[in-house]
Amino acid sequence: MEIRSDFLIIGSGIAGLSYALRVAEYGSVSIITKKEKADSNTNLAQGGIAAVISDDDSFELHIKDTLTAGDGLCHIDAVETLVYEGPERLKELIEIGVKFTTRYGKLDLGREGGHSRNRIVHAQDLTGKEIERALLQKISSHPNIKIYENHVAIDLLTEHHLGIKLNKFSDIHCWGAYVLDVEKGIVKKFLSNITMLSTGGLGHVYLHTTNPLIATGDGIAMAYRAGATIANMEFIQFHPTTLYNSGSPAFLISEAVRGFGAYLKTIDGERFMSKYHPSLELAPRDIVARAIDTELKRRGDNYVYLDLRHLPSDAVKEKFPNIYQTCLEKYKIDITRELIPVVPAAHYACGGVKTDLVGRTNIKNLFACGEVAMTGVHGANRLASNSLLEAIVFSERAARKSIEICSKNKNDIPKIPDWDDSGTFNAEEWILISHDRREIQEIMWDYVGIVRSDLRLERAIKRLNFISDEVENFYKKTKITEPLIELRNLALVAILISKSAISRKESRGLHFTTDYPEKDDVNWKKDTIISIWDH
């Protein structure tokens, strides 16, 4: 089955939906999403969008805060683009119906770790959900947009599928993707002039994560296999404060809670952040996560506490209604009167598919935006609440460039062969290989987590290569399924993270290795680049 459109969008978070609304004025749009259309990292984002709004703030301060958090690896042109264009994109969200929290007739601005001013625009503590609601409502009435739920992209369509042998010097074009319709169990060809990857994150490569179940690194894996350049995969942000023992995805206790004045304490009641950073609980996320990890290992505890008991009860309930209600009703914790047990969990990938300032990858007609992309904004560590901002700023820029390119190459798509579904599915073999997912997650958590070493990374790579080969062999001879697609992608992304980590012989931002505990600007103040042609 063949489905054609001018624009194909893989993923339905803020980046993909914002992009869709813009390009739909110039052509037909297909959006494919793995589960239901509202399943995305966007939907779980509690904190908000960082933007220069208040009179006491400035572009220069937001740029400085972003560069400081990024620890020397941010691309200054990308950061300036993000900060300068952010307020206008925020205004557009309000115009399409996003209801941000206001106070006395003005936007209520919060503060989070690493920010020198109150600049976090939010919708109480469910900002992502409110943005997703408004975007989906707008999209539902647009005649040029069609959303395909329960459709999983398998691989991008390139010259490879025409039988052309490619190398690192080849001009590679993307013409869409092979996509599994999960409900019907058939593989469709989605053909398009422009393909946008907005597949979100990769949190489920780790044992503990705040990400939704769909976050299995699919976009990065597909792009890598197609020949795209991937960058900075070693920089995985672990959110410092997720509710201990709350399952997977772990329930996130927003950065804004510490911004509101919560304390971090050990089990015996000691505030410990003064040992690690002058900003205490408002230090950048990597420092807070590493501090917690250090305290847990030093003491042998399973969690630390977040303490809000000194804060006004009514103010906490008003500021964080979702966190308060969820903790009270689901986990039987009254956060205004009781300590909250918290642990770090994998939260955000600062690396991804390398793009320019308009979202283009090195593969022609393939764009990437949002968490799947590496624009250069985040460097070695993302500043809190810059992620939703990045999505709206760069999706607008990508849309403008996509419209321009699409108008020049309409219908310029070669004949792509149908999916070859030969091979038989062996249920007994799948039972054996399905355990690989859990093993990948445990390997990554134990060896490629918050604190790393060459020995741990070498062990991880050795085992991950074996699992990846096993999965790839199984993939080639069986009927495709959603769990198999995800397992294949998880295995590859785990290897990309591990290889990037072992190649960086220093500690910087989110990457900390005991073998090279110091930062080395002379040799390593540069991006880590990896592509299929290097191996």
Least Cα distance to 392 among 7, 17, 6, 141 occurs for 17
SS3 241: strand
Question: How far does CA 156 lie from the centroid of its chain?
Answer: 20
For residue 53, give Cα distances in angstroms to 56, 87, 342, 422, 514.
Answer: 9, 7, 32, 57, 41
* Single-letter amino acid, residue 168: K
Q: Is the peptide bond before 249 cis (omega within 30 degrees of 0)?
A: yes
Least Cα distance to 230 among 382, 350, 57, 324 occurs for 350
- Look at strands 49-50 and 109-110 and give their pairing: unpaired
SS3 519: coil
d(CA 72, CA 32): 36
Choosing from 285, 382, 488, 504, the catalytic residue is 285
Q: Give helix 387-408 / helix 76-95 axis angle, nearest 10°.
A: 90
Strand partners, 155: 178
* Single-letter amino acid, residue 55: D
CB 177 within 8 A of CB 160: no
Contacts of residue 432, defined as CB under 8 A and 6 or more positions apart, other chains included, come to none
Q: Which residue has the tokens 């999965």?
A: 471
Least Cα distance to 50 among 96, 116, 102 occurs for 116
d(CA 203, CA 369): 17
- Look at strands 230-231 and 29-32 and give their pairing: unpaired
CB 5 within 8 A of CB 406: no
Q: Quick check: is 459 catalytic?
A: no
Catalytically active residues, by annotation = 285
